[in-house]
Amino acid sequence: MHKKHILSAVVNTWAEHLASRLERSADEIRNRGLSAYDFPTNRVKLNFGDGSFAEFKYAFACINKEDAMVAVFTEHCGYLEFHLLPEMEVIEIQENYYRHE
Rounded Cα distance, 95 and 86, in Å: 28
Q: Where are the alpha helices (DSSP H) in the chain?
A: 3-13, 15-22, 26-32
80 found inside a domain: yes
When divided into structural domains, the chain yields a total of 1
Dihedral sign for Cα atoms in the order 81, 87, 92, 95 = negative
Distance CA 84, CA 68 (A): 5
pTM: 0.87
Cβ of 72: how many Cβ atoms within 10 Å? 23
Residue 8 counted as domain residue: yes
Q: Over the stretch 42-86, which tens digit does the pLDDT of each residue have?
A: 999 999 999 999 999 999 999 999 999 999 999 999 999 999 999
Which band of pLDDT confidence, cut at 50, 70 and 90, is reported for residue 23? very high
The residue range of the domain holding 8 is 3-93
